[in-house]
């Protein structure tokens, strides 16, 4: 059963340029290299929701958990956390529709 790793966060004030460069050049390629497929990327422009939502699809719950415990994930997440606030990740059963 495939699962979605739904990641949300807000870009830290005064780090927008650094953030976008990091996400495009390092974060997205690193996550893909870890064996999951990025399926959604959304930016909230209005409302009381996290500013960014990114979804990665893993082939199984065990693969998603393994990824989140890996040294590679901890390193890339640590670097992301220097540029964002209110980071959250949750794992849900994958559906063929938008999921929060």
SS (H, E, C) 36-98: CEEEEEEECCCCCCCCEEEEEEECCHHHHHHHHHCHHHHHHHHHHHCCEEEEEEEEEECCCCC
Query: Residue 98 domain-assigned?
Result: no
100 inside domain: no
Percentage above 70 pLDDT, the chain = 96
Q: How many CA atoms lie within 13 A of 54 on its CB side?
A: 18
Band (95; pLDDT cuts 50, 70, 90): confident
Label the pairing between strands 37-43 and 3-11.
unpaired
Work out whether the CA dihedral 25, 26, 27, 31 comes out positive or negative: positive
Identify the helix (H) or strand (E) that includes residue 21: helix 16-22
Does some domain include residue 49?
yes
Retrieve residue 65's tokens: 């958990």
CATH number of the domain residue 42 falls in: 3.30.70.100
Number of domains the chain is built from: 1
The pLDDT assigned to 100 comes to 61
| pTM score of the predicted model | 0.89
Q: Which pLDDT tens digit goes with each residue over 34-68?
A: 999 998 899 998 888 999 999 999 999 999 999 99
- Taking residues 73-96, report their average pLDDT: 95
């Amino acid at each position: 059963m495939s699962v979605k790793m739904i990641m949300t966060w807000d870009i830290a004030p005064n780090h927008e340029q650094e953030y976008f460069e990091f996400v495009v050049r390092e974060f997205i390629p690193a996550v893909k290299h870890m064996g999951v497929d990025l399926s959604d990327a959304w930016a909230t422009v209005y409302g009381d929701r996290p500013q960014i939502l990114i979804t990665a699809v893993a082939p199984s719950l065990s693969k998603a958990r393994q990824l989140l415990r890996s040294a590679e994930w901890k390193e890339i997440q640590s670097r992301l956390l220097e540029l964002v606030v209110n980071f959250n990740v949750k794992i849900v059963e994958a559906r063929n529709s938008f999921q929060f």
